[in-house]
Amino acid sequence: MGSVAPEKAMEDAPPVNTAGEAARMLWQETKRLWGIGTPIAISTLSMYAINSVTTIFVGHLGNLPLAAASIGLSVFGTFALGFLLGMGSALETLCGQAFGAGQVAMLGVYLQRSWIILLGAALVMVPLYLFAAPLLVLLGQDPEVASEAGRFALYILPAAFAFAINFPTAKFLQAQSKVVVLAWIGVGGLLFHVLISYLMVSVLGWGLPGAAAAYDISHWVLALGQAAYIIVWCKDDGWRGWSMGAFRELWGFLRLSLESAVMLCLEIWYLGLITVLTGDLEDAQIAVDSLGICMNINGWEAMVFIGLNAAISVRVSNELGSGRPRAARHAVLVVLVESLLIGVACMALVLVLRDRFSMIYTSNLELRRAVAKIAGLLGLTMVINSLQPVLSGVAVGGGWQGLVAYINLACYYLFGLPLGYLLGYRFGFGVGGIWAGMLSGIALQTLVLLCIVWRTDWKTEVLIHHSTPSTLYLQKKKEKNLIISVAVYQFQAAQASCRVERWGGAHKEDEATKQPLLQRN
């Protein structure tokens, strides 16, 4: 099914010229964003709480099991989560814009394609789990910690296949704003996880293997619950049954999924690498444990912003698909302001409780002191990370995944990672130096994305999704309000053309020359 021109586009949001109009716009957009974002935040918080519950139960088994679980969850669990969630986020662009354009029948086909691709990706990742211990040693981790973490990573391998089912189903429902059910399933899965963790770790005494088994089972409960809801209760809302069409256009869909995965993975893996880099520090176990606790706390805040990430992605993709550029711009402005306020509040809370919040995870006084020393960096991370996820959500909604992947690569891995290594090891600042350097990369990436969003012409973004790429490119050359440069626009135009192909369309021909669009460019 090809792209549908907005011949009957919905009326755009009214302009904002007075304080009263601004207040009304703020209230209306806040209701829309949080109406979508709150259930998603509850769902993602519940899913993340599974990690936290696992960490809490394991933390009372001793420092070595805690270090193993922290590395297993933050490196290998995050690797699978980041890669598969990233691949699944292709549905945010495709399903969101298809739903906005009224192409509801394609949603179920996209979902099934995503299941096929993500299950294949999970299978490809199996060797990573099998050889986790030697990989950690190769990366400089303490051999004793690496051995235990490798064992734990192997235990949580089944969860990777649950993610492959879970993430596409969530994106399918999010695109249609059917998000309340995600919250109910998420909360139910969390309560189930608490009970089964208590049974396997505390009652049966199965230790680290028991905690991993509870982790796997709980994620499968979430995945199967969401899939069952779609198959049984969404028959008239995008799910039209199993289709052989799911096996068509797999290569094109895979390419978009990989673009999405690279963009998100470069973000998610980045902070996970902090844990690996601390492995060669003096007293590595305390360094890893203190950082693991801080990353866990940071993750709680991040889950709220993943909810807003999904909400703004849905809002932007739906509005662009409906041909409403001003409404998309309003949604972006509101989510950025509100996210920043939440981030500042979280930082203040962490700084007030810097000497106390680690008590939830450990009774070790030395470890609690180590956590308190880096609590300031945790607070600063929370402020910066309040903007970064929602900016990524805007990118996914607009279909800018490829562009943002390049930005992430430069800011994170060419700037932040080397700086963190230098500060931590060469200048002797330890775990705080590593974290501060890598946080600088996040700050730079956030600044670049803010500049891009600020300079975006949303009317032109609507044209990206409804016009031919060559006419779009030529029009953009004449416009003064460029995102960064004509080269960036040409890149986005090429992406738009590829998306048309992936949706089942073909390259349109320029009416003036009857030549394929990408050849004209």
Whole-number pLDDT of residue 198: 94
Question: In the predicted model, what is the mean pLDDT of residues 491-501?
Answer: 45
pLDDT at 46 over 80: yes
- Is residue 475 predicted with pLDDT exceeding 90? no
What does the DSSP assignment read for 4-46?
PP-TTPPPPPPP--SHHHHHHHHHHHHHHHHHHHHHHHHHHHH
Tokens of 261: 């995965």
C-alpha 372: how far from its chain's center?
A: 28
Contact indicator for 132, 149 with CB cutoff of 8 Å: yes
> Confidence band (pLDDT; 50, 70, 90) for 517?
very low
Least confident range of 22-26, 79-83, 212-216, 427-431: 79-83
How buried is 456 (Cβ within 10 angstroms: 0-12 exposed, 13-18 middle, 19+ buried)? buried
Residues 137, 61, 45: CA angle, nearest 5 degrees? 85
Instruction: Please name the residue ranges forming H helices in 204-283.
Output: 207-233, 250-277
Q: In the predicted model, what is the mean pLDDT of residues 406-426?
A: 91
Distance (Å, whole) CA 128 – CA 209: 19
In the structure, what pLDDT confidence band is assigned to residue 8 with cuts at 50, 70 and 90? very low
Q: How far apart are CA 174 and CA 313, in angstroms?
A: 9
The average pLDDT across 3-19 equals 65
Domain boundary assignment for the chain: 26-465, 467-520
Q: What are the DSSP calls for 279-312, one per residue?
A: GGSTTHHHHHHHHHHHHHHHHHHHHHHHHHHHHH
- Candidates 285, 165, 286, 177; CA nearest to 228 is 165
Beta bridge partners of 509: 516
What's the mean pLDDT in 318-327? Answer: 83
Q: Is 324 helix (H, G, I), strand (E, B) or coil?
A: coil
* pLDDT class of 100 with cuts at 50, 70, 90: low
Average pLDDT, the chain: 80
Residue 199 CB contacts under 8 Å (≥ 6 apart), including other chains: 214
Q: Which residues contact 184 (CB under 8 A, 6 or more apart)?
A: none
DSSP category for residue 400:
-
Please tell me the distance from the alpha carbon of residue 505 to that of residue 514, in angstroms, as a whole number: 17
The pLDDT, as a whole number, for residue 195 is 96
Range 24-44 average pLDDT = 89
249: left (phi over 0), alpha (psi -120 to 50) or beta: left
Instruction: State how far the Cα of 138 lies from the Cα of 308, in Å rounded to an integer.
Output: 37
pLDDT digits (tens, 9 = 90+) for 198-221: 999 988 989 899 999 999 999 999
> Based on the number of CB atoms within 10 Å of its own CB, is 312 exposed (0-12), middle (13-18) or buried (19 or more)?
buried
> What is the model's pLDDT at position 272?
67
CA angle (315, 319, 322) in 5-degree steps: 145
Could you read off the pLDDT of 341-368 as tens digits, one per residue?
999 999 999 999 888 888 887 777 888 8
Q: Which of 186-190, 303-307, 437-441, 446-450 has the lowest mean pLDDT?
A: 303-307
What confidence score (pLDDT) does residue 179 get? 87
